[in-house]
Structure 1
Amino acid sequence: MASLLEVIEHKRKVLNHLKNLISNDRLKRANNDYHAKREPRDCGLTIHPGIGCVYECTYCYIKDMGFPFDKISPYPLTGLELAYAVSKNPNVALGKEGTYLAIGSITEPFHPAILNRTLEYFKAISTYLKNHTQVSTKAYISLKLAKDLRSLMPRLSVLVTIIDIDGRLEPKAPSPKLRFESIANLSKVGYRVALFLRPIIPGHSDRVLNELLELAKSYGAEGVVAGTLRVTKDILERLRDAGLDLSYIVSRLRRLPSGRKQIPIMISDLKGRVAKLCDRLGLNYYPTACAANASHYDEVCWDSCKFNRELCDELPNVDVDELRNSLRELIGVRELSISVEDWLIVIKSDTYIPKNYLYLIQAIYKRHVIAKTRGKVLSTM
């Protein structure tokens, strides 16, 4: 396992290599891009091969985030520029022990309008970054496209979103039947594919859970990621206009949404139902996308351990002495204590530890990190 100092040195080498492949004007564009600056989410650093979506899913949140809901366009960075921007990001560790990457959060990565850009990004990730990567999709993936993808990314965590049987809340997306065929085609070329049951919509998705999971398994899915519905005022109105009884949703809200702020509903009981169904059907249950990404690469991450304490023993060992020495060399820490408990590393220091180092430590040891310095607390959670 790489040390913190080794991870930082590896970033420097990759960055210098990519710098020699890109012109100065394009380097400036990549340096200023938000892939070079953003902090990772729980699922990892989100990568955007496009902006916007045209599927107009009733429950979708991108419109409230300010992204186009009626058009989709390729992201401006080339694959090389994207690789450089990610390498430049101080919060991101590179390589197979690095930060998880996630594609598909604000766009449909396999839509024809951006497919070439998506494949270009996969090639750049595989060639230069080598981070464990996950993609989520509602597109129809033909067997040919699945084979082409496998040639670019020999290993990839794949989530196929299907939340019901009739698809009526996703008026312009490929039908659930076609998406089940996507699962089959992706599985045939050797990918481990999970059904992305996100969001679970009370009064709708929960009525067809058995059928959904049985179909997913029959088409080759090996597991299920269950995800929460987040609503805004506009999303509630769209769901109501689609004919849903909102009482099933509103009763699970701690407060009603106002404006564009996304409010998650409480569905721990429904996730519990999904977990039990998975157990009965012989499917893996993943409480989060991060847990699926880790498992598809034969790893365990903080989320895996959080929801199943038996998996905590499979987390990477933390070399406390090495970590302490690395931090002392990097920032001159004098007083420093480090404790490790299951999915959490707690660092107490007399010197401020930059937050980007916490994200690098999280990537290396697959645990959340908290740093406490003179009453101030920083966290990767």
Structure 2
Amino acid sequence: MSQISFLSSLSPSPLPLLGRQADISYHAARAKSILNDPKATGMGYWSINPYVGCAFGCAYCYARYTHRYVMERAAAKPEADPALQDKLKKMPPWLAFERHVVVKENAPSVLRKTLRQGSDKHLGLIRGEAVVIGTATDPYQPAERTYRITRGILEVLADHADMNVVIITKSPLVTRDIDLLTRIGRNSEVSVHISLITLDRELARRLEPRAPTPESRLRALVRLRQAGIAAGVNCMPVLPGITDHPAALDALVKRVAEADATYIGACALRLQSAARQRYLPFIEQEFPHLASRYRKAYANGYQVSDGYREGLSRFFRGLCEKYGVKTRDYDADHAESAIAEEQLRLSI
């Protein structure tokens, strides 16, 4: 897929500054389209991303380098803010992803118009095809408290029936929208996937420096389940040598089961080039004893060895049987296979 196709989802704009929060800047953008077609992205489902970039700063994030094309194009505009141009020149793309977040201000209205048109292209959405919110950003990152783009999108989806709405997030802010999720659930399928890779608060802070604490995510899971909303946990990615210790995984699955999760799924780290450029230097700095092992383990591609993944899958299935929670084995699920980076850009 071409870079031009990816960029066409946003109208040409110098990305005017909306506001700041500490060292994070928020920029306005007008979306020309908001629903990403599975035929274009190769993901196997529709996707919506209310923001470009993410303030949580997870070291392993695979979506960081999709952000630079939007920022580079905006900075190239003659009317662009010189200060923004200067900052982007000095800032590596992986850091810009979490420091300059793009807000798709008109996303709800664009979605409403798209669904109102009722073209054959979108008929699958009312036949149960999944639409996933948050495939390349967190829809409930701090920006959402102010700009409420995700809530606006849910308000639109609540007006339609026979859909399959999925939300992926690390944030307990999702519980703010329990009212809308309940409305959607009356006429459609709706589920929330909470991303949680460790219960260790200090380790989580090193890996996901601005993300909500593990405890707050578990509390959100409990609230969602008490409200009757299908909600589970994505233990993704499992980081070899860091979050894959048997006792730690056992404790995590136990806590998730106690929270009455609908399911828990796991997948080993997939280190495509977009993530590799940030993650491997991070390992060298934070976990130097693992650096050479990582480079060897991922020397021949984005996947760790078949033996590791198969062993992880067996162990994880055993834990889920032990604690009586349903499991999703993403490493064994071909529908969840990694997508090409050119296709990933289209999902923004």
Scaled to the shorter chain, the TM-score interval is 0.5 to 0.7
Give CA-to-partner distance per residue, 1:298-356, whole Å, 9 cap, x none. xxxx859x9xxxxxxxxxxxxxxxxxxxxxxxxxxxxxxxxxxxxxxxxxxxxxxxxxx
User: Is 1:122 aligned to residue 158 of structure 2?
Assistant: no
| Distance in 2 between residues matched to 1:290 and 1:124, nearest whole Å | 34
Aligned length: 259
- Over the matched positions of the two proteins, sequence identity in percent amounts to 20
Amino acid of the residue matched to residue 202 of structure 1? P
* TM-score, normalisation: structure 1: 0.60
Aligned with 1:206 (options 234, 244, 252): 244
1:96/1:179 Cα in 2 relative to 1: closer, same or farther (>3 Å)?
same
Matched, 1:33 2:33: yes
Query: Match for residue 99 of structure 1?
Result: 129
Structure number, greater radius of gyration = 1
CA RMSD of aligned residues (A): 3.1
Structure 2: gaps (5+ residues): 1-29, 69-96, 338-348
Matching residue within 301, 304, 307 for 1:265: 304
Which sits farther off after the overlay, 95-104 or 216-225?
Answer: 95-104
> In structure 2, do the counterparts of structure 1 residues 275 and 90 end up closer, same or farther at CA, with 3 Å as the change threshold?
farther
Find the aligned partners of 1:152 and 1:249 in 2 and give their Cα distance: 45
Q: Map residues 114-193 of structure 1 onto 2, 5 A cutoff.
A: 114-115=144-145, 116-128=148-160, 130-141=162-173, 145-154=176-185, 155-166=189-200, 167=204, 168-193=206-231
Q: Matches of 1:75 and 1:142 in 2, distance apart?
A: 18
Q: Which whole-Å CA distance do the structure 2 matches of 1:248 and 1:100 have between them? A: 38
Pair 1:222–1:91, CA change in 2 (3 A): same
Instruction: Show structure 1 runs of 5+ residues with no match.
Output: 1-28, 257-262, 292-301, 307-381
Quote how far apart the aligned CAs of 1:247 are: 4.5
Shift of 1:202: 0.8
Letter in 2 for 1:264: Q
Identify the residue that residue 322 of structure 2 maps to in structure 1.
Answer: 280
State the alpha-carbon separation in 2 of the partners of residues 192 and 290 from structure 1.
Answer: 23
Equivalent residue of 2:163, what SS? coil
Deviation at 1:286, TM superposition (A): 1.0
Q: Which has the higher helix share?
A: 2
Match of 2:12 in 1: none
How far residue 179 of structure 1 moved from its aligned partner, in angstroms, is: 0.8
**Residue 236 of structure 1: aligned partner:** 280
Change (3 A) 1:204 1:149: farther
| 1:5-36 Cα deviation digits (max 9, x unpaired) | xxxxxxxxxxxxxxxxxxxxxxxx87x42636
Contact 2:194 2:221 in 1 (8 A): yes
Residue 249 (str. 1) matches residue 294 (str. 2): yes
TM superposition score normalised by structure 2: 0.65
Q: Which residue is equivalent to 1:70?
A: 99
Distance verdict in 2 for CA 1:146–1:88, change over 3 Å: closer
Q: Is the 2:53–2:67 Cα contact (8 Å) retained in structure 1?
A: no
Q: CA deviation at 1:74?
A: 2.4
